[in-house]
Structure 1
Amino acid sequence: MKRRDFIEKTAAGTTLVGLGLSMSSFKSLDTKQLTILHTNDVHSYIDPFPADHPRNPNMGGVVKRAQLIEAIRKENSNILLLDAGDIFQGTPYFNYYGGELEFKLMSMMGYDASTIGNHDFDNGLQGLHAQLPHASFDFISANYDFKNTILAPFVKPYKIFNKNGIKVGVFGLGVELNGLVDKKMYEETVYNDPVETAQDMVRILKKEEKCDLIICLSHLGYNYKNEPNKICDLKLAATTKDIDMIIGGHTHTFLDKPTVVKNLDNREVLVNQVGCYGINLGRIDVFFDSDKNKTHQGRSIVV
């Protein structure tokens, strides 16, 4: 190396050290951020709660949620917006419009996918099918087998999203319908074991599709203290491998931040749920380094 080149390189290195930087510091420039935004059990709550509501005054509402989502998109365009089911049933909006308004508003907000909750069957398969043209997002459910129903062409077990070079696999799971939903509402829909189904999905998404992040969009419920044998999100996380994140619904569980559960490989799984009625919006930021190693932080935001 020529003396001049050596001096120039040494001087540049000295400047970096003087700034408190090393060459390894520039690896941070390769970090990619993916922001997961999510809701669950909104139950047709379009308007905010009234100002005199004893528990949730002025909280919730689609307008404020849309504004919050838009503000976050301006901060980071690399976003997935997901819903964990029970979009329907709870206000006169559903009784009158049958879900049309809910789907149109979710489409306007840019939802990417939703799983199917038990109340989304409340107008039967025909009622849900009739509203699908109003939804620009995907419906995913891996353990509801719709092959002998009108929904077969429209519901897929999983969806893969490519976000700024990050490959994200999202699959859906639903709660047992027998005893919870009138049989005539779900007709020939077959419920399959969610743990076995999750293992099949993980094999496909991790081994075959080579996803960098695997998300389970669940309507199983967070936990059942009085029914220890009933499958729930916490138990699903602990009895499976390679699920990075479970975004849940059904039990209307308000969490300030995700619960961390160790899976069968002693790796961390994030489990989150943000209550009900659109009061909160969940946010989980995942950071990937140049080797696709992940770190994360999450919280619930009051709408």
Structure 2
Amino acid sequence: MKRRNFIQQTAATGAFIGLGGLSLSFSENTKKHITILHTNDVHSHIEPLGPNDPRNPNMGGVARRATLVEQIRAENPNTLLLDAGDIFQGTPYFNFYGGELEFKLMSKLKYDAATLGNHDFDNGLNGLLSQMPHAEFDFISSNYDFSNTILDGQTSPFKIFKKDGVKIGVFGVGVELKGLVNESLYKETEYLDPVEIATEMTRILKQEQNCDLVICLSHLGYEYKNESKISDVLLANQTKDIDLIIGGHTHTFLNKPTILQNLEGKKVLVNQVGCYGLYLGRIDFYLDNGNKVDSSGVSIGV
């Protein structure tokens, strides 16, 4: 099948980070604390909003986010920083620098990974590729098949990170580009069904790679009036083994994660923190001997 062939061809790029990919065993009765920080739809907002902004005066800005991230990392060094797409487009910084500044600043903040949103294609595949050398973090995209484009090999279908011996598998799914982005910008990029891909990714990460936590970076959108349109809510309900869906695209602000049930009736956290870098999402997982025992989350104003 085409979908499976795509995954098999690209899965080799889903590399382990740290300790050569070797699994660590948990000490008896040792609890682990993992913190996930996340953003979405920052849209090239480098500076805070102005004092006269009618809704969010003086909020946001990369410098403030950097301070907050460093404070949390000092509190818990076992932290990942992730982004759910639409890094580009929204201020003159993108129009002038084409994404270079965004990627350089994200690298300064030591982002671990990001997925791609529809606006990240606004300068076309060539524009995106030309800026990727400025990104010192991984691009994770599972359901965009770039094999017939210049982005072939530039993204990974998944990544496995290790923090304090905990294996954290991350994969990414994006919104359908057709009808949303001019075809000349994404060219031969092929969109693959997010539910099918998520099912395959979770099988690989949970069953083959024995990940303790599985995170989906999603740029599908939180929920739609058209209940048949795939969204984070539907993805959570129609899959299994995902612990957290970090969302984007609909600019939905949640002050804490939504708790949903998956196919097996188990808990899935879904979070999204609006847009423009006004908030930083924080999710804390607590594990005992590799088993998730508790979780909590909050959106923090920047």
TM-score strictly above 0.5: yes
Distance 2:269 2:111 in 1: 21
Residue 47, structure 1, aligned to residue 47, structure 2: yes
Matched residue SS, 2:49: coil
Equivalence for 1:165: 165
Matched residue SS, 2:52: coil
Counterparts of residues 23-34 of structure 1 (less than 5 Å): 30-34=30-34
Cα shift readout 1:122-166 (whole Å, capped 9, x = no counterpart):
000000000000000000110000001111111111000011100
Equivalence for 2:99: 99
Distance 1:47 1:230 in 2: 34
Q: Which amino acid aligns with 1:154?
A: Q
Equivalence for 1:115: 115
Counterparts of residues 1-303 of structure 1 (less than 5 Å): 30-225=30-225, 227-303=226-302
Structure 1 unaligned spans of 5+: 1-26
Matched residue SS, 2:291: coil
Distance 1:280 1:114 in 2: 17
Shift of 1:301: 0.1
Shift of 1:294: 3.0
Equivalence for 1:9: none
Query: What number of residue pairs does the alignment pair up?
Result: 276
Cα shift readout 1:56-78 (whole Å, capped 9, x = no counterpart):
10000000000000111111100
Shift of 1:214: 0.3
Cα shift readout 1:160-203 (whole Å, capped 9, x = no counterpart):
00111000000000000000000000000000000000001011
Shift of 1:271: 0.3
Shift of 1:293: 2.9
Equivalence for 2:4: none
Distance 2:138 2:254 in 1: 26
Higher mean C-alpha deviation, range 247-256 or range 51-60: 51-60
The 1:53/1:31 distance shift into structure 2, 3 A limit, reads same
Runs (4+) off by over 4 Å: none
The structure whose Rg is larger is: 1
Q: Is the 8 A contact 2:285 2:292 kept in 1?
A: no
Between the aligned residues of both structures, percent identity stands at: 66
The 1:167/1:291 distance shift into structure 2, 3 A limit, reads closer
Distance 1:167 1:159 in 2: 10
Matched residue SS, 1:156: coil
